[in-house]
Structure formats: C-alpha cells, structure tokens
Amino acid sequence: GTIVVTSNGAKGRFYADKTISQLLAHDEIPLCRIEDEPAFPYRGFMIDSARHMQTVDELKKYILAAAEFKFNVFHWHLCDDQGYRIESEVFPLLNEISSKRKYELLGGAEILSKLGLNKSGEEYFRYYKKDEIREIVEYANKLCIDIIPEIDLPGHTVAILAAYPELSCLKGKYEVYCENGITKDILCVSQEETYDFIEKLLTEITELFPYKYFHMGGDEAAKGHEIWEKDCSVCQAKMKELGLKNGKELQVYFNNRVNDILKKLGKTSIEWNDGIGENTDADIVGHYWITRGPLWVKNENNKRKFIVSTCPSLYFDYNNAVVPLKKVYKFDAVKSGFINEKNVLGLEF
C-alpha cells in the first residue's frame, strides 16, 4: 500500500508523521483519508521547575511525549517563592541564595504530613545552567515545540527577595519559602530600582529563549496589595501621584511597565488573568486560569488574546477524581465564555 502526505510546510509534515505513528501502534493502517488541522494554533503544556526541578533528561522525556500528541508550546515555570532556577551571571545571588532552600520537600501538604514527609529532606540547591537551557530549547525546537519561560512578578517573588531584599517594600530579611502556597511578600513596584533590576534580568533571560512570547506571571499578588496600601509609604505616594484607588490598579501600572520592557526586548507578554485589570495593556495576552464572571470574560475576550487553562478542568496536577479525562475531552473554550474565537490562541494543560 501507499501513504500520500500533503502538508502546508514542514510542521504539517511532522504532525502527519505523528498521526501515522499513532495508527501504526494498532499494527495496521486502514484504507482511509485523513484531513487534520488544529482548532487553535496554541497547544500548550506547563511544567513547574521552580518548586521541584527536573533534570535535562527528564524534561526531554516529557517534551518527546508531548510531541507525540502534537503539543507545540512548552510553558516553563522557572521562578517562584520556592526557588529561582536559571543561571544568572548578571545577578549571581539569584543562584547563590535564591536557588537554594533548606528542605527538598515542602511543608503544608496534608498528604505529605500524614506520611511524615512534610518539610523534610536535605538542602535543595538546583538551577539550570544556560547551556542546559539552550540544549532544551534546541531539543524542543526539533520536535516543533516552542518554549515560553515564566518569571512570576510581582508576587511569588520570595526567592528573589531572599537575595535582593532591597527590592521589597519592607526591606526585611527573607528566606526561600519552604512551604506550599503563597506569601504576601511582594516586590516594591513604586521604586525605580525594581524596574532597573527587572530590565537587566529579563534582558539576560530573553537571550536564551527565541520564541516571541514571555510569561510575566502576575497571579496571586492580591495578598501583597495590602503591603502596598498600608505599609509602604513609597507605594502610597505612587498611588496618590498616579490617581490609583488601590493595589490592584498599582499592579496594572507595574505589569504595563514590565510589558514595555518586554516589548523593547522583542517579546509579547502573557499574564495570568487574576492580575489583569481594566487598564491592562490590550497587547498583553491573558492566561485564563481562575474563573471569572461571564461579563468579565466577554469584555476581556473582545479586548485581548487569551490562552485558556481553566482550573480545575485543565489542571493535570489534580487527581483523576477531580479532573477525569472525560471532563478534559468535553471542555469547550467557547462554551466556557470565550465566544470571540479569533482572540483565543488555544488551550494549555
């Protein structure tokens, strides 16, 4: 028999080969005609290497598996309260201090506590060398997968503050977090030193990642808004100067400034949806994870592009009882409120 493949370029041929390999898994290919194209251009998966870091070989294994199922974007979470995982020559303390925490296993998880594993183990000191990152980027590219790094800002930054406490509002002493969950500790977004740091750091990081998108986080910062509003005179003065009513509006100001930095570096910004406010720049891509009302979804869907990762429907860190495969297969971005399909880049798991 003969197999004829017609594709719109090299990536189309790559995905056709994957379809053929899936059919061959059943020992024979039936006489058939297959016309296949994705519903959305973005088919993403996220791996968190900040809390628990994977080896290069482990990442390659995951990337290869994802390629078999025609995923084309790897969202790589590389910085959080529990660790910073990228080699930095510009800010070496990010490795000496921010990449190290006292315990390998984090506290706060009930099941670990029952097993006697809560907040335990040896010192955890890991980060990726730049050459390792380049190796992963090249490997993924050969499998038609682009990589989007995430540096979470302005919250989820305790690991950074442990090394550079002068970037905080309270100028206190911080330690890399050894618990699950989040803290209220946050960057001071009203001092220029913070933006100088971020610009230098992002300039160093973006050199490693050629893909056009960069994820700047923005999620779960609301706890830190209280520090801006009540404890930081610099932030209070900035809100008064700009006519901002609260910390949420100050976060919008911050993320728009980070967006400007990323645009200068040739990148398109992505931000988790709970950080998005009324005046968030429309060219920032929204990453929808936390459920909002239908009016909010409709308004933002018409204003900006979105990646959809609705929790818990598309969160594979939950067990099968919470997120059964049937629920995943039945998920429909349009039915969940994103009626303006041209502004939906795709889904991410």
Residue with tokens 């010192």: 123
Residue with tokens 């990228």: 86
Residues 342, 40 contacting (CB under 8 angstroms): no
Chain centre distance of CA 169? 25
SS3 260: helix
DSSP string covering 59-97: HHHHHHHHHHTT--EEEEE-EETTEE-B--SSSTHHHHT
Q: Identify whether 156 is a catalytic site residue.
A: yes
Residue of 156, 215, 225, 287 marked active site: 156
Residue of 81, 219, 220, 281 marked active site: 220
Q: Identify whether 219 is a catalytic site residue.
A: no
Residues 122, 104 contacting (CB under 8 angstroms): yes
Strands 100-101 and 124-125: antiparallel
Helix (H) or strand (E) holding 154: none
* Exposed / middle / buried, residue 161 (Cβ in 10 Å: 0-12, 13-18, 19+): buried
**57 is written with which tokens?**
């070989």
Tell me how far apart the alpha carbons of residues 54 and 112 are, in angstroms, rounded to a whole number: 20
Residues 145, 71 contacting (CB under 8 angstroms): yes
Q: Identify whether 215 is a catalytic site residue.
A: no
**Integer-rounded Cα radius of gyration of the chain:** 21
| Positions marked catalytic | 80, 156, 220
